[in-house]
């Protein structure tokens, strides 16, 4: 995979609690220079869409724990879309899933998907789930008509693994996120079935790829 092809599949990310607009601009500059997408906090989406209108812009919903009410997630999604977001990464309610309330998990996702005309990626936080729960989370995302499933927020212990990506790819396109920091690691995720990578090390990943 050459650099140009790889870059288009990288969501260069900055989502930490201390993120400033200057940090966002740095990520957008890198994304624009290298041909990557960007994933940023929702409070900066309006400014970011004006600063770098040619960069595909993703933001997060219900982040990082997924425990917002469905109404709050839906409104957050609409607000982000209207501010200029091109894609949304929403966190499921892990507690609801673990309690066996799969119907509520599905409804939560469905409300967000139905509220916006842009792709919604569903973060299932794999490190917190059993194998059976991972399957159920993916099934909820499929039933809710989500565009992707995503491994992790990066704010729980653990991140993307080859095994989890392979499992999730049985259901929907996968965004592998959490702990992917090099070209070789990204290639391993792609080989396991990932379509997209989310990483704060986007430049390092792309720079490690062959130029042609």
- Concerning whether 150 is annotated as a catalytic residue, the answer is yes
Annotation says 175 is catalytic: yes
Q: Which one of 73, 121, 134, 175 is the catalytic residue?
A: 175
Single out the catalytic residue among 11, 89, 108, 164.
89
Query: Is residue 98 among the annotated active site residues?
Result: no
Q: What is the CA radius of gyration of the chain?
A: 16
Helix intervals (H) in 35-161: 45-51, 70-83, 94-98, 102-115, 131-143
11, 108, 150, 164: the active-site residue: 150
Q: What angle do CA 103, 107, 112 make, to 5 degrees?
A: 155
Tell me which residue has tokens 């920091």: 181
Burial class (CB in 10 A: 0-12, 13-18, 19+), 7: buried
As a whole number of angstroms, the distance between CA 12 and CA 10 comes to 6
Output the CA–CA distances (angstroms, integers) from residue 35 to 44, 67, 149, 201, 202, in the order listed. Answer: 20, 34, 23, 14, 10
Classify the C-alpha dihedral 126-129-130-134 as positive or negative: negative
Positions marked catalytic: 89, 150, 175
């Amino acid at each position: 995979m050459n650099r140009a092809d790889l870059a288009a599949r990288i969501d260069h990310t900055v989502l930490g609690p201390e993120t400033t607009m200057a940090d966002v601009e740095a990520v957008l500059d890198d994304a624009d220079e290298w041909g990557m997408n960007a994933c940023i906090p929702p409070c900066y989406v309006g400014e970011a869409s004006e600063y770098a209108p040619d960069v595909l812009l993703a933001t997060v919903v219900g982040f990082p724990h997924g425990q917002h009410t469905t109404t709050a997630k839906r409104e957050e999604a609409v607000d982000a879309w209207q501010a200029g977001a091109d894609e949304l990464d929403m966190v499921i309610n892990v507690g609801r899933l673990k309690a066996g309330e799969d119907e509520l998990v599905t409804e939560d996702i469905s409300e967000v998907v139905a509220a916006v005309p842009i792709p919604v990626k569903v973060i299932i936080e794999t490190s917190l789930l059993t194998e059976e729960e991972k399957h159920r989370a993916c099934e909820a995302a499929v039933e809710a008509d989500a565009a992707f499933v995503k491994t992790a927020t990066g704010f729980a212990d653990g991140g993307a693994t080859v095994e989890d990506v392979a499992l999730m790819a049985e259901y929907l396109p996968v965004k592998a996120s959490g702990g992917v920091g090099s070209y070789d690691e990204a290639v391993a995720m792609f080989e396991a079935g990932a379509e997209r990578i989310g990483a704060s090390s986007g430049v390092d990943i792309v720079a490690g790829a062959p130029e042609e």
